[in-house]
Amino acid sequence: MALTDFSMLELARRLAAGETSSVEAVKASLDRIERLDKKVKAFLLVDARGALAAAEASDARRRAGTAFGRLDGVPVAVKDLFCTEGLATTAGSRILEGFVPPFDATVVRLLKQAGLPILGKLNMDEFAMGSSTENSAYFPSHNPWDLTRSPGGSSGGSSASVAARLAFGALGTDTGGSIRQPAALTGTVGLKPTYGRVSRYGVVAFASSLDQVGPIARTVADAAALLQLLAVHDAADATSATTMAPDYATRLDAGVAGLRLGIPREYFELEGLDAEVRAAVEAAAAAYKAQGATLVPLSLPHTKYALATYYLLAPAEASSNLARYDGVRYGLRVPAGGLREMYAQTRGRGFGAEVKRRIMLGTYALSAGYYDAYYLKAQKVRTLIRQDFAAAWEEVDAILSPTAPTTAFKLGEKLDDPLAMYANDVFTLPCSLAGLPGLSLPCGFSRAGLPIGLQILGKPFDEATVLRVAQSFERAHNFVRAPPLGEG
């Protein structure tokens, strides 16, 4: 078994036992990246020098008996949406070319403080706007299960790096499904925590009332271990919750006997749900029932409005957040005859088509005469969606659904149809609008051999139950496998 095939916690155990070293793990990852990332294209930047230096320091701590914690020395990678001191941060956009932050995002700092070497920055849809990583200004990433298909988005580089065994774990962000959807398409575990559970300080903003940082890993236990590092209050982020995170490992193996798991009717009636995906998720629900859980039929009646609501609110917030990119302070600047012309030329050349589309949608929704009809009404519907879930929690402990309506689609298949692309997030958007925790884990494979994702939704700040439910299925029906990625 290759060193890169171990999970984060398996590697951590071997590091603690002295059976391998962090330097060996980093070198194994860098070698695999060198051989295979020309196919997968998960990385925008590889920081070999920084990762090896961190690994050497970790090994020295292990020898001295002063390891920072269980994951000290385990190599990971991060989405290029996180500020990294001394390393370029592009957010997948030309408009941030040349931007090298003078500080680390809080989550990057937490990884470093825990001793995890960071292998580099991962590809993404520009400013996290997309569901396929094809909106990256640099190149699309490829799904390790089928290199002609998308790994999902916007954290497609994160999911692809973990699935392809290029990194032991990764961080992504989830605004409307950008951790969970790519996890489903690549057979990995992706967790979006409750809004406010993890700091957003130093994360390039897309939609500030929706963006959340979370882990993508190979196993549920790995995702729990990564979340444990990140789930701390941060005074630098005004939206950071003061709610203390529990020890997620304590109840991870408690099983589901006695738990009530909701099955929302609307999620299984939505047009476009693939028959194989539906069958796999229904089989997973039956497996939970066999383990002692009670399946409870639910109605979340405002689900059908989630897609429209999200694509009013998120672009509106994006149009405000992205106004700061003007060529004056950092990033791309296109010289022009006057200030207004410089703004126009810089933004015209620096932003991609999808980002421009969403800026225009958001600006229109916020404009005088349309604010009440669009943005304000969308906020009211968001409240109704949140109330649907609040009522559901009176009856159930967690909710089961598909993560994505289909398995991984062909690269280029949906580029000319934005509405079809947006529909990839139809099952993940309601959770984001309500600020809830949600997790995707593999629950089967299609006849074509492509992974299928099961989504588990939980109560606010109850990631522990979400992880417990996920672990119960993974332990009994383990679909964690390495993709058939050629070594050439």
**Catalytic residue ranges:** 79, 154, 178
Closest residue by Cα to residue 402 from 294, 218, 275, 224: 275
Residue 112 CB neighbour total at 10 angstroms: 17
Peptide bond into 154 cis (omega under 30): yes
Single-letter amino acid code for the residue at 211: D
Closest residue by Cα to residue 263 from 231, 299, 288: 299
Distance CA 203, CA 224 (A): 21
- Contacts of residue 229, defined as CB under 8 A and 6 or more positions apart, other chains included, come to 69, 71, 110, 111, 114, 116
Distance CA 168, CA 9 (A): 9
User: Contact, 3 vs 20, CB < 8 A?
Assistant: yes
Closest residue by Cα to residue 196 from 232, 222, 221: 232
Closest residue by Cα to residue 281 from 484, 477, 433: 477
Reduced 3-state DSSP string for 248-311: CCCCCCCCCCCCEEEEEHHHHHCCCCCHHHHHHHHHHHHHHHHCCCEEEEECCHHHHHHHHHHH
| Tally of CA atoms within 13 A in the half-sphere of 316 that contains its CB | 21
Distances (CA, A) of 25 to 78, 117, 313: 17, 10, 43
Distance CA 175, CA 429 (A): 8
